[in-house]
Structure 1
Amino acid sequence: MPDSKERYGTVSKWFHWLMGGLIIWQFLKLGDRISEGEHWIGQTLVPWHVSIGALLMVLIVLRIFWASGQLKQRPLHDPATAFVVKAGHLALYVGMLLLPITGLLTMIGNGYGLKVFGVQLVAKGPEIDWVATLGSAHSPLAWIMVFLVIGHIGMALLHHFVKRDDVLRRML
């Protein structure tokens, strides 16, 4: 089912919820920063961080192509807030694209190589300072993305429970 003026379609919903779940999983990596990874999350879920990031990079590219083909069918936004809504979604898309790219730059720039789901895609090698420097944007971008996602969830809940409109139901 494609997107319509009333609801998002099946493919859009799958992209939204699958990527949302994977992004929340990725945020568990921030727990390493807080507790040095000495907990069950750091030992069981975080080792998948690079692989899930690579998967998210593929998914965001596919999602951008899908979404660009659905623009005319997308639900309309309240004209009073349309600019803010579009800016917020654009920021989320930019974050979803830049995070895996900067993560990749971090891995390669620091000489770690790239191993995705057990397959070595880029061999370990020498450190490349300028690539690592670009990759150093990964952590600050992750924190910005946390706030964007919290804002996104907060606004969806505000629409559902306070404004009591159809915004959240469009994606359910």
Structure 2
Amino acid sequence: MSQLHDCAQRYGSVSRALHWSMAVLLAWQFVTVIVHVLLEDSALDKFAWGTHKATGLLLMVLVVIRLCWALYSRNRRPASVSTLARLGHLTLYGLLFVIPFIALLRQYGSGREFVAFGMTVMPGFSDPKIDWMIAPASLLHGNLGWLLLLLVIGHVAMALFHRRQGGEDVLARMIGR
């Protein structure tokens, strides 16, 4: 039976569920962007891109829940294997929050309605656009997204490296073995 809480040897079922749910949603986000770039205006693009904002919102909510759970579990969690690993994880968390946050700012500043999962998250408005809310995402959202992709690839590569090289099998901590 799986343990609910984290312990010094491995992550509990809550941390693992949040991690792998976020991994699947993040992978989908990257698929939507790649399809949008390579197959713009196709039926697949219309479907995939239509899910991008709602999935980003869901990811942001999961990041907040995951950070709260990590703070709650901070004295029980497995230790980082290095300072670099700790900084890498903090950077991933930061980007996973900042990227959708600035997109939400842009959405609101544009005055366009935002409906996700059938719920109105932001009503639209007809006043002039709010440029200071639009500018950060226009400048950074996509570039930070590509940076996040590179960091995720590095994260996966390092987990596999540690697994193959012996020593600390950090992947086993997150797969429950």
TM-score by length of 1: 0.90
Q: Hey, which bits of structure 1, 4+ residues long, moved more than 6 A?
A: none
- Which has the larger displacement, 67-76 or 123-132? 123-132
Contact 1:109 1:135 in 2 (8 A): no
Matched with 1:76 is 79
Secondary structure of 1:36's partner? Answer: coil
- Which has the larger displacement, 23-32 or 105-114? 105-114
Give the % identical residues.
36
- Structure 1 unaligned regions, length at least 5: none
Q: Give the C-alpha shift of residue 164 in structure 1.
A: 6.0
Counterpart residue type for residue 133 of structure 2 = V
Match status 1:11 vs 2:36 = no
Q: Give the C-alpha shift of residue 77 in structure 1.
A: 3.2
Contact 1:106 1:138 in 2 (8 A): no
1:3-57, CA deviations, whole angstroms, 9 ceiling, x for partnerless residues?
01101001000010001110111112321123325262x2322211111111112
Match status 1:155 vs 2:142 = no
Contact 1:113 1:123 in 2 (8 A): yes
Contact 2:92 2:151 in 1 (8 A): yes
Counterpart residue type for residue 68 of structure 2 = F
**Aligned counterparts of 1:76 and 1:118: Cα–Cα separation in 2:** 40
Matched with 2:146 is 143
Contact 2:33 2:49 in 1 (8 A): no
Counterpart residue type for residue 131 of structure 1 = M
What are the residue-to-residue correspondences of 1:92-103 with 2, within 5 Å?
92-103=92-103
- What is the total number of aligned residue pairs between the two structures? 168
Counterpart residue type for residue 136 of structure 2 = L
Please provide the CA RMSD for this pair. Answer: 1.6
